[in-house]
Amino acid sequence: MRIAIGGIGHETNSFCPGVTPLEKFLDGGEMPPALEGAALVPTLATLNFGASGFIRAMPTAHFVPLAWGQGGAGAPVADAAFEWFATRMTARLRDARPVDAVYLDLHGAMMTESLADAEGELLRRIRPVVGPDVPIVASMDYHGNLTVAMLEQLDALSSYRTYPHVDRHDAGARVARMLEEIMRRGRPTAKRIARGPFLIPLPFENTDRDPSRSLVRHVESGPPGVLSFEYVPGFAASDFPEAGPSVFAIGYDQDRVDAAVTTLHGHLVAAEDAFAEPILDADQALAEAATIRLQGARGPVILADTQDNPGGGGTGNTTGLLRAMLSAGVRKAALAILYDPRAAQVAHAAGVGAEIEIALGGQDGPVGSAPLHGRFTVMALSDGGFTATGRTVGGRRIALGLTAVLRIAGIDVIVASIAMQPYDIMVFRHLGLEPTGYDLLALKSTVHFRADFAPLAAAVLLVKSPGRHLVDLPDHPFTALRPGIRLGPGGPAFVARGDRSPL
């Protein structure tokens, strides 16, 4: 088969200021630089994205490379960046015709300055290029907000089923098997989507615990005769009508598709109250951590600074939790990763062992976060380059730019020039630090850190400090959600401006 392959991924937090520029896709850092042309397929084949699993599962296919890029998470994508990818994809696809199929590696929660459903728009542009008979298939992120436009254009779709995402490649491989069935049977005609009545904050989407774990297991257990069948919890910080959890199916028998979606949607609705999980403020979390240590626990206590997670649109440079740690007098503690290129540059200029007086972090954070003025000792330096080894992004080459370990009052702060959540243990070890040597680890992450760090920890506590990735969804100034959807499990219903009657 001749299969055109490409993709674009971005997890858009509508409440982050500014835009995500094209350079975020082109330059790389946490993600590989954008790919097009001859390098696309061999490079992706060695990594752990959905496209990687798709390529490895289709060893006899002839791939036609389009364009592929990942922009991480944050503010809406610049229209010019979206057009850069869309134009290249459609032009290369037009030149490569005929193709037998198109595969796209998508996120599912991408918005631009002017497009609420960027992936739906991309698919609308691709469909007329290949015509009505060529299958278009895709994999997507577990946090995707599936739209009607996406489902209308796609013939098969599979999402990640784990959070932490340790199965990206599996999603791509499933799509490859679906495409093989489509080539035997033709394009499927039966589709259905059902949406949950509430938004789910990211910390509650963890598939290591119920109810997310049970919902995913239901997907994996069947049903027979349905080509695509998935539950996706969505990304709640995308402010548009189709945001939130959904259940969908694609197949050849409408009755089976309808039955599958109806059953799983019933499980989702019934599980609403079970999604809630305690979130502590910084002082509460530090007190709980101290109690756990006094009880003789082995391993560090992890504080997940979830609201400043760059993987959800946080800046990665707020100082609220660090200030609380200093006030509590904790020792043998570390915090990672604090994004501050200027501080990293000053540390490198001073050298290991030097003392520097700086205002750390807080420059770009939301209300409640300010720079922390203090005197720090430079403990370690690196160029920020390392190969990840863990379950989430193992094998990926990471480039954090100038990176330093700055110690203040017994706390080691890993400071980097690129914002990234610490979802791989090599964030510490490439600097000569051993995570198990600390009593307390403060990690600017929501769930992804669990794959590498939770097995080492005495306990994990979710912490609510200042940040742009809000856990309490009613605190977001939503304007464009569908009326009546609840802002979190058991939360208040969204009411559009000008409508005084709650639905």
Residue range 257-286: mean pLDDT, rounded: 96
Relative to beta strand 301-305, strand 246-251 is unpaired
Q: What is the pLDDT of residue 161?
A: 97
pLDDT the model gives residue 83: 98
Q: Estimate the crossing angle of helix 50-57 against helix 168-185, to 10 degrees.
A: 50
What number is the average pLDDT over the span 429-451? 97
Asked if 306 contacts 446 with a C-beta cutoff of 8 angstroms, the reply is yes
When the pLDDT of each residue in the chain is averaged and rounded to a whole number, the result is: 95
Q: Is the pLDDT of residue 502 over 70?
A: no
Domain ranges of the chain: 2-275, 280-464
Task: Locate the DSSP E strands across 183-282.
Answer: 190-195, 226-232, 246-251, 280-281
What's the rounded mean pLDDT across residues 214-223? 92
Percentage above 90 pLDDT, the chain: 93
Instruction: Write out the two tokens for 205.
Output: 């989407």
- Per the CB < 8 A criterion, the answer to whether 25 and 85 are in contact is yes
Residue 499 has pLDDT above 70, yes or no: no
The sign one gets for the Cα dihedral 3, 143, 237, 262 is positive
At residue 500, does pLDDT exceed 90?
no
In this prediction, residue 222 carries a pLDDT of 78
Q: Which residues pair with 198 in a beta bridge?
A: 486
Q: Of 174-183, 326-335, 412-421, 494-503, give the lowest mean pLDDT range.
A: 494-503
Of residues 150 and 298, more confidence is placed in 150
Q: What is the mean predicted confidence (pLDDT) over 108-118?
A: 98
Q: Residue 292 phi/psi, 5° resolution?
A: -65, -40
Within 418-486, residue ranges assigned H as helices are: 426-429, 450-453
Looking at residue 148, its pLDDT comes to: 97
Distance CA 85, CA 126 (A): 12
Q: Please, are residues 250 and 188 in contact by the beta-carbon 8 Å criterion?
A: yes
- Residue 355: is its pLDDT beyond 70? yes
Q: What is the DSSP string of 242-265?
A: T-S-EEEEEES-HHHHHHHHHHHH
Bond prior to 8 in cis (omega within 30° of 0)? no
pLDDT > 50? residue 82: yes
- Evaluate the CA torsion angle 415, 204, 161, 248 in order and state its sign: negative
pLDDT above 70 as % of the chain: 99
Do 311 and 448 meet the contact criterion of CB atoms below 8 Å apart?
yes
CA–CA distances in Å: residue 63 to residues 4, 12, 101, 473, 495: 6, 29, 10, 42, 47
The structure tokens listed for 414 are: 């890993």
Q: Is the pLDDT of residue 503 over 50?
A: no
Please compute, for residue 226, the number of CA atoms within 13 A of its CA located in the half-sphere on the CB side: 24
Task: Compute the distance between CA of residue 382 and CA of residue 31 in angstroms, rounded to an integer.
Answer: 19
Cα 104 to its chain centre, rounded Å, is: 17
> 294 Cβ partners below 8 Å, 6+ apart?
none
Of 109, 14, 96, 37, the closest CA to residue 70 belongs to 109
As a 3-state breakdown, the chain gives helix, strand, coil percent values, each rounded to 5, of 35, 25, 40
What integer pLDDT is reported at residue 498 of this predicted model?
56
Name every residue whose Cβ is closer than 8 Å to that of residue 121 and which is 6 or more positions away in sequence: 82, 86, 115, 149
Dmax (CA) for the chain in angstroms is 70
DSSP-based three-state secondary structure for 105: strand
Output phi, psi for 273, to 5 deg: -65, -25
- The pLDDT tens digits for 373-404 are 999 999 999 999 999 999 999 999 999 999 99
